[in-house]
Amino acid sequence: MSFWKNLVGKFTTLIGQKEQVDWEAILIESDLGINLSQKLYSLLEKEKLLNRTDLAEKRIRNELIAILGNGNLSFPIGQPGVILLVGVNGGGKTTTAAKLAYKFKSEGKKVYLAACDTFRAAATEQLKIWAEKLELPVISAKEGADAASVAFRAYSQASQSQADYLIVDTAGRQANKKNLMLELGKIKKTLEKASGQVPLFVLLVVDGTSGSNVLVQAREFHEALGLSAMVVTKLDSSAKGGMIAAVKYELGIPTLFIGRGENLEALEAFSPEGFIEEFFSR
């Protein structure tokens, strides 16, 4: 039985001969967030669907597809188009950088990588390993170097080589650390000034198993940097995925890709219809 069906069963009680479903609890348990859950509940209440399970589920599906499907988004065009990856440690930024690089290279694009997590030597080494495997140039510096300077140098080299894309990996610490946000802001401003690409394309990478905490992370990074889109990694059977809709509803930030593994090919373009189908069958 799917996670969704389990929730419906868990929060359905029999009163006399009628079933009563606690839709608000189901929606919140699905990581849709308080605000979106309340909106969906109000719709069901207004349309008198609270005790009509099949029709209620169909209404929820349609509303979620409408929320997720608004707006089209494409990567920046330039020489190079700059993509700044941000997110807390463990979310999968470096692997996502490699997957994006692989995707672009497979499309015949010229790609540069920038290792701007200068706090952790391991992060730089990981990106170098991916770059070597992909046979792509990576710009890096010693641990403790100024990350914005690395970003500027990377942009200069990518621009001189007429690269199509520059993918910038960054430090991740904790989202509520002021110094991290200041550093990321400095990198962003440096790249915007160098490229003339304003606003910069900022891609938040989040761990899909983090549940409702994804919304907290997205809000903090969005307030500090202005996010363009989101990549959700590790979205497997253990992740409910509702936060994708919550982030889009509350912040207007769309999900661009879903990551499901370590393989370079394991980066799927996000489909609202496909996601909703999986959400209800998970």
Question: Residue 162 burial (CB < 10 Å; 0-12/13-18/19+)?
Answer: exposed
CA angle 31, 34, 38 (to 5 degrees): 115
The model's pLDDT over 36-78, given as tens digits with 9 standing for 90+, comes to 999 999 999 999 988 888 898 999 999 999 999 866 677 888 8
1 pLDDT above the threshold of 50: no
Residues 6+ positions from 264 with CB-CB distance below 8 Å: 98, 99, 102, 134
Question: Could you give the maximum distance between any two Cα atoms of the chain, in Å?
Answer: 75
Q: What does residue 199 show for φ and ψ, rounded to 5 degrees?
A: -75, 155
pLDDT computed for residue 207 by the predictor: 93
3-state secondary structure of 93: helix
pLDDT computed for residue 179 by the predictor: 86
The model's pLDDT over 102-139, given as tens digits with 9 standing for 90+, comes to 999 999 999 999 999 998 888 899 999 999 999 999 99
pLDDT-derived band at 175, boundaries 50, 70, 90 = very low
CA angle 152, 157, 163 (to 5 degrees): 115
Residues 6+ positions from 89 with CB-CB distance below 8 Å: 172, 173, 174
Find the length of the chain: 282
Q: How many secondary structure helices (H) and strands (E) does the chain include?
A: 11, 10
User: What rounded mean pLDDT belongs to the chain?
Assistant: 89
Beta pairing, strands 81-86 & 111-116: unpaired
153 pLDDT above the threshold of 50: yes
**Whole-Å CA distances, 63 to 5, 36, 70, 172, 225:** 19, 10, 11, 34, 29
pLDDT-above-70 percentage for the chain: 90
pLDDT-derived band at 212, boundaries 50, 70, 90 = confident
CATH of range 81-271; options 3.40.50.720, 3.40.50.300, 3.10.250.10, 3.10.129.10: 3.40.50.300
Q: Token pair of 179, please? A: 């110094």
Number of other residues whose CB lies within 10 A of the CB of residue 211: 16
Indicate the range of 9-13, 83-87, 215-219, 228-232 predicted with least confidence: 9-13
pTM: 0.91
Contact 79, 163 (CB under 8 A): yes
pLDDT computed for residue 178 by the predictor: 81
**Average pLDDT of the segment spanning 160-174:** 91
Pure H helices in the chain: 3-10, 23-29, 34-46, 53-68, 93-106, 121-134, 147-160, 178-195, 213-225, 243-251, 272-281
The model's pLDDT over 225-256, given as tens digits with 9 standing for 90+, comes to 999 999 999 886 555 689 999 999 999 999 99
Domain ranges in the chain are 3-68, 81-271
